[in-house]
């Protein structure tokens, strides 16, 4: 293993762990200091904290079946580790993407296993959905995967000019 590979592996684990810790700390803070349904405006019209418990999936779909998504999260994390071990998730973008995705999946899985629901509290804009730091990490990871997938086609397109 080269030094660069060691740094990339360390970055993946560090990012995953930081996401889980930040997510769980934020959720603990919300559960400890807010009443269910309480809203605290943070940035007028742009961000508010609203304490919500989601027993389903994204957009409050599949209410009551959230514990099954913990199984999906475990399978997803296992798949990431498998493909990382095979060497198929290499490079800064994929290291960061997989770190965010694994950290977010584990953060929400912890809630599902312990509480049978996920604590959500972030509302962006007046008509935004409600989410948490794990959800933001999953979105960031997904965005980085899209950037990775578009990087080569955009390079080829730029060189054709």
- State the catalytic residues: 120, 135
What are 29-32's contacts with CB under 8 Å, separation 24+?
Answer: 30/119, 30/121, 31/119
Q: From CA 157, how far away is CA 161, in angstroms rounded?
A: 7
């Amino acid at each position: 293993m080269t030094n660069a590979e060691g740094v990339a592996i360390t970055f993946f684990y560090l990012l995953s762990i930081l996401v889980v810790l930040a997510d769980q700390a934020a959720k603990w803070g919300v559960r400890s200091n807010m009443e269910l349904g309480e809203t605290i405006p943070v940035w007028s019209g742009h961000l508010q904290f609203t304490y919500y418990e989601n027993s389903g999936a994204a957009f409050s779909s599949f209410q009551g079946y959230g514990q099954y998504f913990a199984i999906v999260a475990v399978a997803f994390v296992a798949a990431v580790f498998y493909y990382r071990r095979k060497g198929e998730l290499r490079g800064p973008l994929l290291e960061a993407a997989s770190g965010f995705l694994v950290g977010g999946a584990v953060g929400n899985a912890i809630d599902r296993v312990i509480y049978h629901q996920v604590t959500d509290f972030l509302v962006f804009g007046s008509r935004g959905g409600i989410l948490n730091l794990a959800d933001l990490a999953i979105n960031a990871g997904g965005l980085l995967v899209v950037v990775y997938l578009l990087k080569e086609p955009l390079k080829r397109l730029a060189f054709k000019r």
